[in-house]
Structure 1
């Protein structure tokens, strides 16, 4: 799980750094666009601030959003997302400079929320279901 968290935090850092590599699709608000490869058999739906990906079999989903944080910490933002999502038995997965992650369940479905905050911007990643599979597209996040 620590390797997964490290991968998440690295991907969110790359987002904030403003990577420009080409990818299959581009998403996000005008102030902070990003690209991500959508795996074959997955659907991508633009949502406010980003994208929600889901595998065709319905075993997992991944949402990536860029938001204006108002200077809030990654921990505060992550806890707000967890509370809003109705996640039960939430626990801290990891915490380091500008990064915070929690895991738990909602209706028996595993969920991981990871946030990276830097200045006035934050990247929020929410994975549900098969967390390892859901994290796969993060490798292409730019």
Structure 2
């Protein structure tokens, strides 16, 4: 009756496969909590939902691509934790993910926290630097 009206589902969608199933019936599907808990989920949106064939970046490549943005924002006066809170789940389900999250949570909010903190977190998740984290 209202072909000009876009129908978008929002809530309870936990995967791209679920979103694809909904898209058979609606115009859009929103991934809120699922994407925030595991931001890497978004790396495969183009492939899964739109059939794109580009190479998907690895989690480490996503983090490396994020670094220049962080450096620019720090130079403008932003605080590191304002940016890193959005990538805490980037390594969700991966080895050393807990150590990555914990290191950022404990250090990114400190006065003067800069690229050195993010670079250390990258080394931790890559296994190049050790930190003690219970039940890794």
Q: Same fold (TM over 0.5)?
A: no
**Greater fraction helix:** 2
When normalised by structure 1's length, the TM-score is 0.25
**Greater fraction strand:** 1
